[in-house]
Amino acid sequence: MQHGERDLGDPDRYLTDSRFDRWREWAERDALVWSGPGTSPSGFWSVFSYEGCRQVLAPGTPFSSEYGMMIGFDAWHPDRAGGRMVVVSDGAHHARLRKVMGPFLSRGKAAELLAFVRQEAAALLESAREPGTDVAAVLAPSLPASVVCEILGVPPEDRGMMVELTNHAFAGADNTFDRMTPEEAHSEILFYCHGLIERRRVERGDDIVSVMLHDEGMDPAEVLINCDNLLIGGNETTRHAIAGLFHALSTRPGALDELRAAPDMTHLATEEVLRWTSPAMHVLRTAIQDVTVLGTRVPKGMPVVAWLPAANRDTRVFADADEFVPTRRPNKHLGFGYGPHHCLGAALARLEISAFLDVLAQRVESVALAAEPSRLRSNLVQGYRNLPIDLNWR
Ligand code: HEM
């Protein structure tokens, strides 16, 4: 990297909340910002405004996901899962994978899981009775992990182990546990999924793995790669949206009263949690031909990064963008991305967040921070390393 060039991929930049001021300024002037080689071998361009992000992610644009969708990948350094994992596929193959996986993550599936998710959220809230409970570590990770197990058809006897492994695997790149590193835990999960796939090859069920293997004739390696997509997609982001909802509520002491007064407002509050927390920090696309982005020519092969939380606080679209406003309407945030790769798990994520909001409204008067939260050291996930809270119970 040349002297003076910035690298927006440097994870240390995201340890504090100073990002929001920079992002606001860049979004307001529709900036296209260059990052020199560093975290990305060839460097990358960044967009921050709501319209800029939509322009890059919209259907029919000359951008590909197949080279990879996060900082570090480009046309000369492609993701090896490209063309096989749903989130890093394009065109007809991508559409087919969405069609196969979609029904297992649909609103219908979310409706089936409603009672289970509500019960789990209520039980988990009890684990936050102790003042100063770190919700990021203690409470937020389990429900997303249980939901992904449910989707993958993990048998009940293996759930506890899988939830624990998932907690280790997706706690954040800066965390190491006494027993194993996050990478080791992730490998253990993939090893388990490999076994699950082998079992489903002989013992067909009605789960997503069986359908991919038998109805779609996908090879086991491709099935495994897409199980991994669900594990990462379902866990890494949702846990921080759940932790973040406690943070959001702490900024607005009357929010739970508002929810109690109008329970049909939960869906609005859920969208606002997604906008305000925006756990997916960036998505990347690679230009497949020379293209003009926000007035600047981007050559074929170069990556362009869309910073979703910046777009979600674009002051030209969202009034009082830094405030958590549970009744915000309209709220067409980009928290789940935009265009053909719009999050497949959106209905499940919404279900999990709204279940926590409902149970909090029933049982808790207000939420307060017990100490300043510490942020995750990551350029990919906007979340919390620690978030200690005090609940004022009803
Ligand atoms: C895609 C965010 C929860 C599965 C995406 C994308 C975003 C996102 C921004 C688009 C990626 C891109 O454009 O390259 C989130 C957030 C979540 C969440 C913020 C929680 C608050 C989930 C859950 C699951 C899931 C619970 C599944 C259990 C997926 C999958 C894709 C995806 C499979 C790929 C879709 C495609 O490429 O067509 N998610 N996600 N996500 N997400 Fe989520």
pLDDT in tens, 298-318: 999 999 999 999 999 999 999
Mean pLDDT value of segment 178-206: 90
Residue-wise DSSP of 116-130: HHHHHHHHHHHTT-S
Q: What is the pLDDT of residue 177?
A: 53
230, 235, 237, 343, best to mutate for ligand 1 pocket (most atoms within 8 Å of CB): 343
Q: What is the pLDDT of residue 1?
A: 46
The answer to whether 105 touches 347, Cβ cutoff 8 Å, is: yes
Q: In angstroms, rounded to a whole number, what is the distance separating the alpha carbons of residues 76 and 184?
A: 28
Q: What confidence tens digit (pLDDT) does each residue in 31-83 have? A: 999 999 999 999 999 999 999 999 999 999 999 999 999 999 999 999 999 99
Q: What is the pLDDT of residue 163?
A: 86
* pTM exceeding the 0.80 threshold for the entire prediction: yes
Complex-level ipTM beyond the 0.90 threshold = yes
* Residues sharing a CB contact under 8 Å with residue 359, sequence separation 6 or more, in sequence order: 118, 121, 122, 125
Q: What is the pLDDT of residue 229?
A: 93
- Backbone phi and psi for residue 79, each to the nearest 5 degrees, phi listed first: -70, 130
pLDDT level of residue 168 (50, 70, 90 thresholds): confident
CA of 156 to the centre of ligand 1 (A): 25
In terms of phi and psi (left: phi > 0; alpha: psi -120 to 50; beta: otherwise), the region of 389 is beta
Cα-trace Rg, the chain: 21
In single-letter form, the type of residue at position 37 comes to P
CA of 159 to the centre of ligand 1 (A): 22
Mean pLDDT value of segment 131-141: 94
Mean pLDDT value of segment 360-388: 96
- Asked if residue 280 has its Cβ within 6 Å of ligand 1, the reply is yes
pLDDT level of residue 366 (50, 70, 90 thresholds): very high
pLDDT above 70: percentage of residues in the chain: 97
Q: What is the pLDDT of residue 46?
A: 98
Q: What is the pLDDT of residue 341?
A: 98
- Asked if residue 282 has its Cβ within 6 Å of ligand 1, the reply is no
